[in-house]
Amino acid sequence: MGNNINIKNRKAKFQYEILDKYTAGIKLVGTEIKSIREGKASIAESFCEFNDRGELFVINMHIEEYSHATHFNHKPKSERKLLLQKKELKKLYKEVRNTGLTIIPLRMFINDRGIAKLVIALCKGKKLYDKREDIKKRDTKKRLDRIKKAFNN
């Protein structure tokens, strides 16, 4: 299959310090996979939460309604269950409850078997001064690259 779907959460690396990454499957219903294959999904404002039974759900993920569907179309912003191994779920649950960390989706892709996957990360929120430091580092790197390019030409 020629799948090149790669939907990213660009704000995540700026707003959070990434501690650990996991690849999870997504339980989709109806026409959701068709919209994802068209690239009509967004994970920019989404986050993950556990319910009272210890299941992990992605919340606020937007998948547009499928254009060729009938009245059986899906809801664009419903909660979607994430599929992980029990061992991984227990570890994440313990980290979130004890240390107050957050689980953020970083990237959504379709693997070679045509299955939608979500790369999630255990994150810690950055403070304002950390964000300023990142901006400063990025600007310095840009300036150095420009100087190197001018020097080489």
pTM here?
A: 0.79
With vertex at residue 26, the alpha carbon angle to CA 11 and CA 71, rounded to the nearest 5 degrees, is 100
pLDDT in tens, 92-132: 999 898 888 899 999 999 988 988 999 999 998 888 888 89
Q: How far is CA 11 from the centre of its chain?
A: 10
Q: What is the distance between the terminal CA atoms of the chain, rounded to a whole angstrom?
A: 42
Section 39-53 average pLDDT:
89
